[in-house]
Amino acid sequence: MSAIVVAASVAGRGAVLDLSVPAGSVTAVVGPNGAGKTSLLHLVAGLLAPTDGEVRVGDEILSNPRRVVPTHLRRVALLTQRSALFPHLSVLDNVAFAPQAAGARREAARERAMTELRGVGCEALAGRAAHQLSGGQAQRVAIARALAGDPLVVLLDEPTAGLDVASAAELRTVLAERLRGRTSLLVTHEALDLWTIADRVAVVEGGRVVETGVTDELLARPTSPFLAHLSGITLLTGVGRDGELEIAGGLRIQGLSDAVQPLHDARPGLAGIPPEAVSLHLEPPGGSPRNVLPAVVKVLEPRGPVVRVRLDVAGQQVAADVTSRSVARLGLAPGTAVWAVVKAVQVRLYGR
Amino acid sequence: MIRPPLPRWLAVPAVVATAFLAVPLLAMVVRVPWSWFLALLTTTSAVDAFWLSLRTCTASTLLCLVLGLPLAMVLARSHGRLATVGRVLATLPMVLPPVVAGLALLVALGRRAWLGSRLSLLGVDLAFTTGAVVVAQTFVAMPYLVVAVEGALRVAQDDFDVVAATLGASPTTVLWRVTLPLTAPAIASGAALAFARALGEFGATLTFAGSLQGTTRTLPLEVYLIRESDTDAALALSVVLVAVAVVLVAVTAALGRSWGTRR
């Protein structure tokens, strides 16, 4: 396995991308649409040429402004949202395609293909035609096909998008198992993909890699609004005052300062509030150290047994998860003024 | 879904159009002396013309494939002014009067012509030979293949070639194992159309290749030659040409359908 190092810009797309993927790591690439995630994949696959900088896999320079190694010589597998199985080949021959392209004999290639199909639990589908597979099956076969070529690097562009919940869950299990220890870049919009498949996360925004780190650490204390959104945590921005975070309207948020990235006085900071830690009241309650924030209900989003209530707190958005029963009892509707209450120990304060 | 209907009166011109297309063909079928149909088809000149047409059309269809397929592939991937010029050139013979095409070939490849005289020095005399028939047919038939294949390649938007490259397939491997198999139905239907066009070729062949029995006189030329002296034989040969055309069109339509279901 080889590490990926991208330090390249693409002038036409306004992308200046800087990212290292350690050998054997599965790095998830997240970010808003149009941020440059797919450009990143295409740079590594050789489908996009850098106008400056270079792309390396292992010790080899694959792209720089003077030379772009053709895609087929890179040993970089690409898996897209549409599995793109060849419609004129059986499932087995689809998976045997890469070994055969590499010069393996038909029988040896098919043997290898069978092994890979077993690896994704699809050996029973070997004789089928591509159009006889469900979306989830097709994606699993596409993984087998990609891995049968012994790629140095695996690139995945939203592989679980467009699948139903059960198929996506199944695919995640397969991906987690088959990608373990292979250098991979996984573009995704799904928080679940991050937790189950990736060990590292890179956040891409506005054509830049703005943050990278280990999945668990980054999602536990998200410092960018995008990551916070992915992990479901609300972030409030403000300034440190006496160990608390002062946000607009002079409101103070109490919480526990983060050990790695502590909040400093008179410096910009963030408060991370998990939606399930927020309770809503029509009258301000008393009691132990709590944050009691005046809020206005903006939107109610039913999510199974709970309702996610999006609140406006001094111009910033805060999410609260409450039961549908309390929504009814409090008579919550867009425009209702409420008090959002959060225990201080459930709020984390970061410096920026 | 029940779509809002077309206006009823539209049926009248539609029926007229159908009759317009069908009546001449039916009239011919009715006029053919069916009792001695076979005898009419087995005269020496008819048999000569039949075999000559079969041989030349097969040769020109193969030539269309060998030359037209690469052209279609290059055009499908090209942009810009040069590609536009190429595309115009590749479709021009479709709309050109065949006699003009024949004249152009004669001016370029005739014995005393610029290119023809040079070929002649190499021992290749094209004008008024069976080879000239193949050249004339290929010239007018190739656009049908190029247009059919280029169109199919352009709408094949699933990036199978990209996927194949990421699986380590070289451009040549992609061509043989992915692009050609995936466009096979379009290639086959394009080839069928080209064959049909070559079979019906008249003007360019007459101008460039002449009308020599067994050498350059194909079925359409034979029909034209005997249409007054031996109308019955001309009609019998025409019916054969119609039958072949019907089969080719049916094959093309069937290929179009199978292609539709596979996508």
Give chain B positions within 8 Å (CB) of A131. Answer: 262
Cβ within 8 Å, pair A146-B164: no
Instruction: Answer whether residue A288 shows pLDDT above 80.
Output: no
Instruction: Answer whether residue B20 shows pLDDT above 60.
Output: yes
Domain that holds residue A346: 232-351
As a whole number of Å, the CA-based R_g of chain A is: 24
CB of A48 within 8 A of CB of A243?
no
Whether A29 and A165 map to the same domain: the answer is yes
Structure tokens at B126: 């094209």
Cβ within 8 Å, pair B169-A77: no
Cβ within 8 Å, pair B169-A78: no
Give chain A positions within 8 Å (CB) of B159. Answer: 80, 84
Cβ within 8 Å, pair A149-B167: yes
Mutate to test the interface with B, among A41, A71, A139, A185 (most CBs of B within 10 A): A71
Per-residue pLDDT at A259: 77
Whether A39 and A186 map to the same domain: the answer is yes
Last residue within a domain, chosen from A202, A225, A248: A225
Per-residue pLDDT at B263: 45
| A82 and B CB contact within 8 Å | yes
Rounded (5°) CA angle B93-B94-B100 = 45
Which secondary-structure segment (H or E) carries A203? strand A200-205
Per-residue pLDDT at B159: 84
Whether A293 and A196 map to the same domain: the answer is no
Give chain A positions within 8 Å (CB) of B178. Answer: 86
Whether A76 and A190 map to the same domain: the answer is yes
Tell me the CATH number of domain B33-262, given options 1.10.3720.10, 1.10.8.60, 3.40.640.10, 1.10.599.10: 1.10.3720.10
Helix, strand and coil content of chain A, in percent to the nearest 5, comes to 30, 35, 35
Instruction: Answer whether residue A264 shows pLDDT above 70.
Output: yes
Cβ within 8 Å, pair B168-A149: yes
Whether A161 and A185 map to the same domain: the answer is yes
Cβ within 8 Å, pair B164-A47: no
Cβ within 8 Å, pair B178-A86: yes
As a whole number of Å, the CA-based R_g of chain B is: 22
For A22-47, how does the pLDDT look when each residue is reduced to its tens digit (9 = 90+)? 999 999 999 888 888 999 999 999 99
| B166: nearest CB among A76, A87, A100 | A76
Residues 117-146 of A with CB under 8 A from B: 131, 145-146
The larger pLDDT score, comparing residue B101 to residue A258, is at B101
Distances in Å between the alpha carbon of A119 and those of A82, A179, A193? Answer: 20, 11, 20
Cβ within 8 Å, pair B165-A76: no
pTM given for the model: 0.79
Whether A248 and A178 map to the same domain: the answer is no
Give chain B positions within 8 Å (CB) of A98. Answer: 167-169
Whether A193 and A242 map to the same domain: the answer is no
Give how far A77 is from chain B: nearest CA, Å: 5
Q: How many folded domains does chain A comprise?
A: 2
Quick one: pLDDT band at residue B178, thresholds 50, 70, 90?
very high
Give how far B61 is from chain A: nearest CA, Å: 25
Whether A127 and A10 map to the same domain: the answer is yes
Share of chain B above pLDDT 90, in %: 65
**Half-sphere exposure (CA, 13 Å, Cβ side) for B173?**
18
Whether A206 and A240 map to the same domain: the answer is no
- Smallest Cα–Cα separation from A156: which of A129, A194, A128? A194
What is the spatial distance between Cα B202 and Cα B225, in angstroms, rounded to a whole number? 11
* Range of lowest pLDDT (A123-137, A199-213, B3-17, B247-261): B247-261
Q: Mean per-residue pLDDT for A239-268?
A: 88
Structure tokens at B26: 């039916």
Quick one: pLDDT band at residue B260, thresholds 50, 70, 90?
low
The residue in chain B having the minimum alpha-carbon distance to the alpha carbon of residue A153 is: B166
CB of A296 within 8 A of CB of A335?
yes
Give how far B200 is from chain A: nearest CA, Å: 34
CB of A63 within 8 A of CB of A71?
no
| A98: nearest CB among B168, B170, B174 | B168
Per-residue pLDDT at A287: 66
Cβ within 8 Å, pair B169-A82: no
Q: Mean per-residue pLDDT for A214-243?
A: 82
Cβ within 8 Å, pair B167-A97: yes
Give how far A86 is from chain B: nearest CA, Å: 7
CB of A147 within 8 A of CB of A178?
yes
Share of chain B above pLDDT 70, in %: 97
Q: Mean per-residue pLDDT for B10-36?
A: 93
For A9-21, how does the pLDDT look when each residue is reduced to its tens digit (9 = 90+)? 998 888 899 999 9
| B258 and A CB contact within 8 Å | no
Give chain B positions within 8 Å (CB) of A149. Answer: 167-168
Mutate to test the interface with A, among B167, B176, B183, B259 (most CBs of A within 10 A): B167
Residues 150-179 of B with CB under 8 A from A: 158-160, 162-171, 173-174, 177-178
Give chain A positions within 8 Å (CB) of B166. Answer: 45, 71-72, 74, 76-78, 146, 155
Give chain A positions within 8 Å (CB) of B163. Answer: 78, 80, 84, 86
Which secondary-structure segment (H or E) carries B207? helix B203-209
Instruction: List b or e across A147-175, with b for residues whose CB sees 16 or more CB atoms inside 10 angstroms.
Output: bbbebbbbbbbbbbeebeeebbebbbebb
- Smallest Cα–Cα separation from B126: which of B150, B108, B104? B108
For B191-237, how does the pLDDT look when each residue is reduced to its tens digit (9 = 90+)? 999 999 999 999 999 999 989 888 999 999 999 999 989 999 999 99
A210 CB neighbour count, 10 Å cutoff: 16
Structure tokens at B39: 């005898």
Residue B2: CB partners within 8 Å, gap ≥ 6? Answer: none
What is the spatial distance between Cα A43 and Cα A40, in angstroms, rounded to a whole number? 5
Residue A338 amino acid letter: V
Quick one: pLDDT band at residue A2, thresholds 50, 70, 90?
confident
Last residue within a domain, chosen from A193, A225, A257: A225
Domain boundaries, chain B: 33-262
Last residue within a domain, chosen from A225, A256, A278: A225
- Let me know if A308 is exposed, middle or buried by CB neighbors in 10 A (0-12, 13-18, 19+): middle
ipTM entry: 0.78
Instruction: Answer whether residue A104 shows pLDDT above 50.
Output: yes
Q: List the CATH number of the domain containing A202.
A: 3.40.50.300
Give how far A82 is from chain B: nearest CA, Å: 9
Residue A73: CB partners within 8 Å, gap ≥ 6? Answer: B168
The residue in chain A having the minimum alpha-carbon distance to the alpha carbon of residue B171 is: A72
Whether A183 and A316 map to the same domain: the answer is no
What is the spatial distance between Cα B73 and Cα B174, in angstroms, rounded to a whole number? 13
What is the spatial distance between Cα B159 and Cα A142, in angstroms, rounded to a whole number? 14
Mutate to test the interface with B, among A43, A75, A81, A88 (most CBs of B within 10 A): A88
Q: List the CATH number of the domain containing A328.
A: 2.40.50.100
